Amino acid sequence: MGTHFTSESVAAGHPDKICDQVSDAVLDAALSADPKSRVAVETLVTTNRIIMAGEVTCPAKLEFAVIARQVIRDLGYTNGIYDFSHRSPVSVYIHAQSPDISQGVDSGGAGDQGMMYGFACNETPEFMPLPIALAHRLVARMDEMREDRVMPFLRPDGKSEVKVTYVNGRPDSIDQVVLAVPHDPGVSAAEVKQQLVRWVIEPVCKLYGYKPPARSGITVNGTGKWEVGGPASDTGVTGRKIIVDTYGSFARHGGGAFSGKDPTKVDRSAAYATRYIAKNIVAAGMADRCEVRVAYVIGQREPIARGIETFGTGRVPDERIARFAWSLLDLSVRGIIEGLDLRRPIYRETARYGHFGRSAFPWENIKPKRKVS
């Protein structure tokens, strides 16, 4: 008898992810102009409308509307049928960072308060929980099939959900896969499902070494019909997919969103730091599962709390794990930013398919094995 765990992800063209990518494209543009730029930008999209608001302190004049339109064009919203496109009106309400916050950050303090968690496990090659790893791969593959014209009848937007059976704490089988994606009404629902099984579900399950669920365990467009997705059917806002962005609810979350924030905001940078530490602990064979937690106060440089949990999976004494963990990275705000080289324009790519489990990002690096007494 097993237990079940379910996680979801969303396609790059999902309304909330449009907003995350626009906000992070602004961050990348600011960091390209000046690595010490301060950014905290929120985006909202709805029917034929884009609204941007927040704070940016940068010596260069950034064309916020141009940045937003380019992201939206890249995501495939170029057809009038979507009632939202790169030609939709853009309203911008962006000003400089508050001087009250700035004075604390200038001295190396955190740009916000809060709790951050990092997690890793040895269920997948990415050191991520299997349900969220599968969910991300499914929507990424679905987007790829549309962009490469293998399934040209698909339209931007989409979601996935995966139910995995665990036996004795380990993944055993994939029980259910749910996909939702808008498509050309000229293609039947049966054909869409058949093609998604062939080109998306079967290859992704095989990639992780599992059989796809039986056809009765596969759902495509549960309402039976989805023709037009995007902001015209569902308003999007930056920061509404924090569980999709992290571990698919497999691990705890401090509640802070990532996108649109420069690395002085520890909501983002400390979450990356704790993932880095947790992943290195698991990769070193010290535990099968690890959670690292920290907490910060606005304006202060060092965390006010830190801890490690291995859920009974530790393979070496806790004291040895702690010595190894805290030697990996200086957890002051400046130490994280410099140690992970975070003042670079790398963030737009994080804003789809999850911030963790992809080797392109510095917080995913594994340090060479070394002896820790």
Residue 293: C-alpha distances to residues 192, 270, 279, 311 (Å): 43, 9, 13, 14
User: How far is the C-alpha of 242 from the C-alpha of 209, rounded, in Å?
Assistant: 28
Query: What letters, b where the CB count within 10 A reaches 16 and e where it falls short, cover 314-349?
Result: beeeeeebeebbeebbebbbeebbebbebbebbbbe
Main-chain phi, psi angles of 16, to 5 degrees? -65, -35
Structure tokens at 119: 């997690």
**Is the Cβ–Cβ distance between 34 and 343 less than 8 Å?**
no
Mark the binding-site residues for Mg(2+), compressed into ranges: 16
Can you tell me whether residue 371 is helix, strand or coil? coil
Mark the binding-site residues for K(+), compressed into ranges: 42
Mark the binding-site residues for ATP, compressed into ranges: 14, 157-159, 234, 240-241, 257, 261
User: How far is the C-alpha of 271 from the C-alpha of 253, rounded, in Å?
Assistant: 9
User: What's the longest Cα–Cα distance across the chain?
Assistant: 65
Mark the binding-site residues, compressed into ranges: 14, 16, 42, 55, 97, 157-159, 234, 240-241, 257, 261, 265
